[in-house]
Amino acid sequence: MSTAADSVMELIRYPESSPINAAYRTDERKARKLERTDSSFLDTIVGRRGSLRSILSQVDAVASTNTTVLITGETGTGKEVIARAIHELSPRRNRNLVKVNCAAMPAGLLESELFGHERGAFTGAINSHVGRFALADRGTLFLDEIGDMPLELQPKLLRVLQEREFEAVGSTRTTRVDVRVVAATNQDLKRMAQDREFREDLYYRLNVFPIYLPPLRERKADIPELVEYFVQQFAASMDKSIESIPQETMRSLVRHYWPGNVRELQNYIARGVILSNDGVFEPAPLETYEQSEPEISNPTLEDKVRREILAACQRANWKLGGPRGAAARLGLKRTTLFYKMKRLGITPPADHSQD
C-alpha cells in the first residue's frame, strides 16, 4: 500500500510519467509550468531516507489546507522546492505560484512589489503596478528570506495574513485577496522576535505549520544517490558519458561537511563533470572544497560553521563576493554570508575590506 510520502515522492521524482502529474496537467500552460519546475524538484529532493520521508509526509498533510507554512533550514537545503511541492499538491495548483525574495530589495520597493502602487504614488511611479499579492489571488505566495523583511513593513503583512486585505501604495481602495502564504528563512525567527528584530505577532502568525529541512551533513546516507543523480544529469547536459565514480571519491564526498548543502554539492559535481574524461568521474581539486571537521571536543554547530566560514574567507583572501569569493566557495548568497559573519562575530583583518 502506498503512503502519502510515496505520492509526494512520485510527483517530485517522476513528474512526466506520474498519473498524479497527468491529472494536474489540464492545459498546455500547466504542462510548461511543470516542465520549468521539474529540474528544481529533482535537483533537491533525491533520496528516500527517514528525515526526507517525514518531511514529505508533512507536505502531503498540509498541502490540501489553506494553512500558512513556515519552512526553515540552512541555505541550500531546498526550501523553495518544498514550497513548490506544497503548491503543486494543493487545490490551488491550477493558479499562480508567485515568489518574492524579501532580501532582494529595499523596504520601499518591497512594499510596492508586494502590494502594488498607484500611478504617481512616488517619484518615478509613472504607471500603476499590480503587486504580488494580487497576482497570487486564489493561488500561493512564497515569501523567501522572510527574516529579512524590514520591521516597518511587517504590520502590513500581518494585516493581510489576518484580514486578507490591503491597500496599494498611494491608494485608499481596499483590495481583498485569497492567498495561501508559504514563507521560508534560514534565520532563527524565534530568537529574532525575542530580540525585537522581528515582530513577535507576525512570527506566531507565520509559524502555524513549521517544516524544518535538515542540512546535508545530517543526511549523509542520501549523498551517494545525490552524487549519482547530479553526475548523470550534468553528463547528459554536457553530452558526456560517465560510467563510474571511484569509491574513494564517493567516500570523501560523504565525509565532507557541505556548509552550502545540496546547492554546494550540485555546483561541485558540475565542475567535476567538466573535468571528467574516459567515463570516470574526476572531481575538482579537493583542497578547494573539502574541509575537515573541527578538532575540538564536542563542537557545537556554531563552532563548525565559524570554522568553515573562516577557512573559506582565508582561501578567498577575505574577498566575500564574486565568483571566487568566500560566499561562492561556501555555496551561500553574499547577504547570507554577511549575516552569518555578523552573528558569529567574524570580522576581516584590518588590512582587508569586505568586498
CA atoms within 13 A on the CB side of 14: 10
Average pLDDT, the chain: 79
Cα separation, 328 vs 120, whole angstroms: 40
- At 26 the pLDDT is 35
| pLDDT tens-digit map of 210-249 | 999 988 888 888 899 889 989 999 999 999 999 999 999 9
Q: What is the pLDDT of residue 57?
A: 87
DSSP state of 122: S
Q: How confident is the model at residue 96 (pLDDT cuts 50, 70, 90)?
A: very high
pLDDT in tens, 148-185: 999 999 999 999 999 999 888 877 888 999 999 999 99
Task: Please state, for a pLDDT cut of 70, what percent of the chain lies above it.
Answer: 77
Nine-digit cell string for 205:
502568525
Residue type, 238: M
Return the ∠ at Cα 321 (arms to 353 and 107), rounded to 5°: 95
Tell me the per-residue pLDDT of 265-305, one tens digit each, with 9 for 90 and over: 999 999 999 989 889 998 876 544 444 444 444 456 677 78
Regarding predicted confidence, which is higher, 36 or 253?
Answer: 253
Helix, strand and coil in the chain, % to nearest 5: 50, 10, 40
Candidates 301, 325, 236, 307; CA nearest to 42 is 236
20-29, 40-49, 54-63, 220-229: least confidently modelled range: 20-29
What cell was used for 73?
A: 533550514
